[in-house]
Amino acid sequence: MKFYHFLESILLVMYEVYKALGSGSFGQVYKCFDHKRKNSVAVKIVRSTPKVAQSAQIEADILLHLNSISGPGNSNIIKLLNYFEFRGHQCVVFELCSLSLYDILKKRKFKGLTCSQVKPIATEVLMALNFLKENKIVHCDLKPENILLSGDNSERIKLIDFGSACYEGKGCYTYIQSRFYRAPEVLLNASFGSPIDMWSFGCIIHELLCGYPLFPGNPLS
pLDDT tens digits along 93-121? 999 999 999 999 999 999 999 999 999 99
44 labelled as ligand-binding? Answer: yes
Instruction: Region of 81 please: left (phi>0), alpha (psi -120 to 50) or beta.
Output: alpha
Predicted local confidence at residue 14, as pLDDT: 83
Predicted local confidence at residue 51, as pLDDT: 85
Predicted local confidence at residue 10, as pLDDT: 55
Regions in the chain scoring below 50 on pLDDT:
1, 221
Predicted local confidence at residue 1, as pLDDT: 44
Predicted local confidence at residue 16, as pLDDT: 87
Check: pTM over 0.75? Answer yes or no.
yes
Residue 141 annotated among the catalytic residues of the structure? yes
Give φ, ψ of 119 to 5 degrees.
-55, -50
Predicted local confidence at residue 89, as pLDDT: 81
Q: Which of 2, 45, 48 is nearest to 22 (CA)?
A: 45
Predicted local confidence at residue 9, as pLDDT: 56
Predicted local confidence at residue 22, as pLDDT: 87
Residue type at position 125? V
147 Cβ neighbours under 8 A, 6+ residues apart? 100, 101, 121, 125, 157, 158, 159, 160, 204
The radius of gyration of the chain's CA atoms, rounded to the nearest angstrom, is 17
Question: Distance between CA atoms of 102 and 31, rounded to whole angstroms?
Answer: 19
Find the catalytic residue in 34, 61, 103, 141.
141
Predicted local confidence at residue 151, as pLDDT: 82
